Structures are given as structure tokens and as C-alpha cells.
């Protein structure tokens, strides 16, 4: 196989029903005329949510509801298969039912079993897409990613071990490609070193595609979704959001880290590592070129996009006794790292009398408890007053490679937010100068995003 392959990933809405699956097969057949293709399939739209709800129902002993959910999934996939004129392989559903019965019996839902249950969406959709391709005259074979991607055992948000996985990916997929067959790989799922089913986190099929692209030194990784590409803001929040034809990896990383749901943040990392372009395109409007994410952005100055992550909590440590005392920030970070809590934003006042950090709201109680424990002596001696928590808050970010070295950007950002009468609680600017992020009250974030979008300069 001398020609570089392309990876084409289809998201949930792009595989939502029989006609969408047929459309995906058509796009794959066209792409394959240019170069060898590996497809990555997400679950049919909404299926992962149904599976997760069924697992929660089973845990609460509502096995009747969980069984109904399995029946509904079977009916949905069988109807699509019938309409497409292909066979529907039911075997995975028996395994799903057994897993849910087990959860219900034990009234216990571990992270491990949650991953197993949520894996079935992709395990049902991939064979369906492969069968449709084969019927259309494109030789195709469903591949279970658990045979090729090895991760750590952080169930629910596992990280791929590329050293272990890359050779497996090549060993499995290259012969299939060399035989002129199109592999259709399950997105989202993988397996741990111990052999258990893991998942890469919600929206993780993007990362599956990027990982396969990196292992195969792909020409490009195309992410087919339901919007024209990466837009200057979430189109559900900002009506005038515009298509960004070119983004740098760094801009894409900042945007996706700070809430742009159009791409799974970890997908950017293997793409950067191997310099593989990520192309985001609309499967409903393939005539549009979409967004290309590569080493260089479009080179223009100013703010390119606005993103936001709601559902956060702002923690602050205050006290005169922190001034000039080394290691306070390090202790904060080691406490959060021990808990596995991700710090979305961090800032320290130059007086060193205040440290602020933003974490997910769900991690509030245990993080406050851990910080109070960590700084118990300082609190006793009065050098740190208290650990304060405020929620809900949201982090809003202005992103743009061209913000670097452009004077007055911060003034523009905060003037726009002030005009919307939104109070800014805490500010951080990454040293890359590719991002200015700030925390606002949970009730204000949509207003802040809209106000800030008015100063986006593309
Ligand atoms: P898929 O199922 O194809 O993976 P997702 O729902 O994960 O699709 O991602 C696409 C959605 O991301 C869009 O429908 C859009 O609502 C949302 N989105 C959020 N922020 C942005 C943005 N900046 N640009 C484009 N889409 C965005
Ligand atoms: N099906 C998974 C989810 O809904 C993964 C994905 O769609 O990328 O999160
Ligand atoms: Mg997605």
C-alpha cells in the first residue's frame, strides 16, 4: 500500500437513520476513488444516551425500563437494516441484555460495566455501515476497535497507549486495505491492558479517527458532522456564527478544551504529533469544504472564535499569609491531581493573596474537602482565611492565533463583556496568547458569549 490513506469518521447524526447511513456510504465510496479509506462509525444518534440511561435504570432495579430500551434499540437498528436491505446482526444485543440484567441483580454499576454497556452503540452501527457499503459494491469489513486500540483503565475517559496500539492498528488494517477492502472501525471504544472494554469519553469517536490517522500516517482525517465545520461560536447559542475555513492545531485545541463540542479535545493531540490535517465537514452539505485544522491557521489578526464551558465551580483561596510563600500553587495542583480533578482555569493575583481555580461543579465537595485538609495548618494559623466555592459559573474563552502580539485585544474583550453588563469573576490568559479565558456567573454566560462574538474579527 503505497498511497496514504484517509480516515473518514461519521458522527451520530450522520448515521441517524437509513437515509443518513446510505448517504455516509455514498460519501465513502466517493472518497475511496481518490485514495484508500478507513471509516470510523459513531453510534446512531442518541443511542449512547439510551444505553447509559438503561444502565442507570438497571442499577435502580428498574429492569423493565432497561429491557424496553434494548427492545427499542433492536427495533431502530432492525428497521434501518430492513430499509437498507441488509441483514441485522442481533448477537451483540444478547450480550447487552446480559450485562444489564447483571447490573440490576447486583444493584451496582461500576465504571467498567458502564463502559461495556455504552460500547454497544458503535458495535451495532459499524457492521450496519459495512453491510450497506458491501451491498453498494464497496468491499467493506467491520472492525472492532477493541482489537487494535489499547488504553489505560480510566473507564469513561480512557487514554490510548499509542506505543501499544499503533503497531496493532497497522498489523490489522494494512492487510485489509491491501486487499482492497474498506475497514469500518467502531469509534469511541477500546480495551484496557487487562482486556476490559473502555471508552475514550463522550464524543470520543473523533479521537478514534485521529488515533487511526496517526498510526497509519494518514493524508487527512475527515470528521463528518451536522454543521459546515468549526464555527466562530456554537451555532445553537449564536445565530451569526461563521465558518472558520482554516484553524491552527493550537486554536482548535484551545477551542475544544474550552467547550467547542464540534470536536473531541483529545483528537487534536495525535493529529499534532504526526502533523495530520483534521478536516471538519457537513455530511448534509458535502459541497462545502469545511474547516481544515493544520499547523498553520489563516494568519489573520484578532479573535477568531468564542467558546464556553458551563457547569463549573470557582474555588478561591485567600489570605495575606500566602504572599512570598513558595509552593502554594504546587500544593493546590497536587491536591487536585491526586483526586483526578481537572483544573479548567487557574489564576493567581500578583499580590499572591489570592488563588482562583475553576473545576467541574460535580467535583466541588471533594475538592474543597481536599484543599481544606491540605491547608489545615495555614487555616489554623490564619495565614489562609478559607477555601471559598461559587457555583454555577462558566468559563468563557476568546480564541485566536492572531491575538498574539495584537495590542488591545484584552481591552476589546472586557469592554464587550462589560457592555453586556456581565461581571467577570476571574481571568486567565494562556502564555500562548492564543486565548483569553474568564469566569462569569452561571446565569450570564450565554449573554457573555453573544456579546463577545460581536467583536470576533474574521
Ligand atoms: P457528531 O455527532 O457529528 O459528532 P457533535 O454533536 O458531537 O456531532 O458536534 C457537532 C455539534 O457541535 C454541532 O451540531 C454544534 O451544535 C456543536 N458546536 C458547538 N460549538 C461549535 C462550534 N464552535 N462550531 C461548530 N459546531 C459547534
Ligand atoms: N457515541 C459516543 C457518544 O455519543 C461517541 C461519539 O459519538 O463520538 O458520545
Ligand atoms: Mg461529536
Where are the domains positioned within the chain?
Answer: 6-225, 305-456
Q: What is the mean pLDDT of the chain?
A: 94
Q: Which ligand is nearest to the CA of 42?
A: 2
Q: What pLDDT band is residue 1 in, cutting at 50, 70 and 90? A: very low
Is any atom of ligand 2 closer than 6 Å to the C-beta of 261? Answer: no
CB under 8 Å to 307, separation ≥6 — which residues? 233, 234, 254, 255, 258, 259, 260, 396, 397, 399, 449
User: In 3-state terms, what secondary structure has residue 245?
Assistant: coil
Pocket test for ligand 1, best of 225, 285, 435 (most atoms within 8 A of CB): 225
- In the DSSP assignment, the letter for residue 324 is T
Arithmetic mean of pLDDT, 414-420: 92
pLDDT given at position 33: 96
User: What number does CATH give the domain 6-225?
Assistant: 3.40.1160.10
Please state the atom number of ligand 2 nearest to the C-alpha of residue 43: 1
Residue with CA closest to ligand 2 atom 4? 48
340-359 mean pLDDT:
85
User: pLDDT class for 403, splitting at 50, 70, 90?
Assistant: confident
Q: Confirm or reject: Cβ of 12 under 6 Å from ligand 2.
A: yes
Atom index in ligand 2 nearest the CA of residue 202 equals: 9
Which atom number of ligand 2 is nearest to the Cα of residue 264? 8
Q: What is the number of the ligand 2 atom nearest to the C-alpha of 208?
A: 8
Does ligand 2 have an atom closer than 6 angstroms to the CB of 400? no
How many Å lie between the centroid of ligand 1 and the Cα of residue 388?
34
Which residue CA neighbors atom 9 of ligand 2 most closely? 202
Q: Residue 328: its pLDDT value, please?
A: 85
Q: What is the pLDDT of residues 68-99, one digit of tens each?
A: 999 999 999 999 999 999 999 889 999 999 99
Query: What is the whole-number distance in angstroms between the Cα of residue 36 and the centre of ligand 2?
Result: 25
CA of 415 to the centre of ligand 1 (A): 28
pLDDT on residue 146? 98
Per-residue pLDDT, averaged over 188-192, amounts to 98
Q: What is the pLDDT of residues 225-280, one digit of tens each?
A: 999 999 999 999 999 999 999 999 999 999 999 999 999 999 999 999 999 999 99
Query: Quick check: 350 pLDDT over 80?
Result: no
**pLDDT higher than 90, residue 168:** yes
Predicted pLDDT of residue 352: 66
CA distances from 177 to 7, 83, 141, 217 (A): 12, 28, 10, 14
Residue 430's pLDDT is: 66
| Ligand 1 shell residues, CB under 6 Å | 11-14, 42, 203, 225-227, 230-231, 233-236, 260-262
The dihedral region occupied by 382, where left means phi > 0, alpha psi between -120 and 50, and beta the remainder, is left
Give the least confident one: 187-196, 227-236, 277-286, 385-394. Answer: 385-394
CATH architecture of 305-456: 2-Layer Sandwich (3.30)
Comparing 71-80, 166-175, 372-381, the range with the smallest average pLDDT is 372-381
Amino acid at each position: 500500500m503505497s498511497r496514504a490513506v484517509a480516515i473518514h469518521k461519521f458522527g451520530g447524526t450522520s448515521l441517524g437513520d437509513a437515509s443518513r447511513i446510505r448517504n455516509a456510504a455514498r460519501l465513502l465510496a466517493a472518497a475511496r476513488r481518490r485514495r484508500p479509506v478507513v471509516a470510523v462509525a459513531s453510534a446512531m444518534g442518541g443511542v449512547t444516551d439510551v444505553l447509559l440511561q438503561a444502565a442507570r435504570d438497571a442499577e435502580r432495579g428498574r429492569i423493565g425500563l432497561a429491557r424496553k430500551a434494548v427492545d427499542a434499540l433492536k427495533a431502530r437498528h432492525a428497521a434501518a437494516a430492513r430499509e437498507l436491505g441488509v441483514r441485522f446482526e442481533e448477537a451483540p444485543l444478547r450480550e447487552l441484555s446480559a450485562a444489564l440484567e447483571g447490573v440490576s441483580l447486583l444493584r451496582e454499576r461500576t465504571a467498567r460495566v458502564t463502559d461495556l454497556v455504552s460500547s454497544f452503540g458503535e458495535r451495532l452501527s459499524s457492521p450496519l455501515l459495512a453491510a450497506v457499503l458491501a451491498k453498494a459494491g464497496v468491499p467493506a469489513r467491520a472492525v472492532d476497535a477493541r482489537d487494535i486500540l489499547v488504553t489505560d483503565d480510566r473507564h469513561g475517559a480512557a487514554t490510548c497507549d499509542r506505543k501499544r496500539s499503533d503497531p496493532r492498528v497497522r498489523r490489522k488494517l494494512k492487510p485489509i486495505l491491501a486487499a482492497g477492502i474498506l475497514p469500518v472501525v467502531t469509534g469511541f471504544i477500546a480495551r484496557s491492558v487487562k482486556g476490559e472494554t473502555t471508552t475514550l469519553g463522550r464524543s470520543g469517536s473523533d479521537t478514534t479517527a485521529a488515533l487511526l490517522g496517526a498510526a497509519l500516517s494518514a493524508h487527512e482525517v475527515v470528521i463528518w458532522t451536522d454543521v459546515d465545520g468549526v464555527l466562530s461560536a456554537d451555532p445553537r447559542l449564536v445565530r451569526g456564527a461563521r465558518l472558520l475555513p482554516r484553524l491552527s492545531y493550537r486554536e482548535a485545541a484551545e477551542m475544544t478544551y474550552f467547550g467547542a463540542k464540534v470536536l473531541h479535545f483529545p483528537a487534536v493531540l495525535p493529529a499534532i504529533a504526526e502533523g495530520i490535517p483534521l478536516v471538519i465537514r457537513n455530511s448534509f452539505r458535502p459541497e462545502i469544504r469545511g474547516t481544515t485544522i493544520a499547523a498553520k491557521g489563516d494568519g489573520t489578526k484578532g479573535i477568531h472564535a468564542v467558546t464556553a464551558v458551563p457547569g463549573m465551580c470557582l474555588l478561591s483561596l485567600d489570605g495575606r499569609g500566602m504572599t512570598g510563600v513558595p509552593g502554594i500553587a504546587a500544593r493546590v495542583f497536587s491536591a487536585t491531581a491526586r483526586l483526578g480533578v481537572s483544573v479548567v482555569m487557574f489564576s493567581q493575583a500578583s499580590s499572591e493573596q489570592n488563588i482562583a481555580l475553576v473545576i467541574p461543579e460535580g467535583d466541588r465537595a471533594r475538592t474543597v474537602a481536599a484543599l481544606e485538609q491540605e491547608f489545615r495548618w495555614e487555616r489554623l494559623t490564619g495565614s489562609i482565611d478559607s477555601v471559598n466555592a461559587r457555583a454555577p459559573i462558566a468559563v468563557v474563552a476568546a480564541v485566536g492565533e492572531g491575538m498574539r502580539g495584537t495590542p488591545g485585544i484584552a481591552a476589546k474583550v472586557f469592554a464587550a463583556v462589560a457592555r453586556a453588563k456581565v461581571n467577570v469573576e476571574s481571568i486567565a490568559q494562556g502564555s500562548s496568547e492564543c486565548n483569553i479565558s474568564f469566569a462569569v456567573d452561571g446565569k450570564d454566560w450565554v449573554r457573555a458569549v453573544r456579546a463577545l462574538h460581536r467583536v470576533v474579527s474574521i
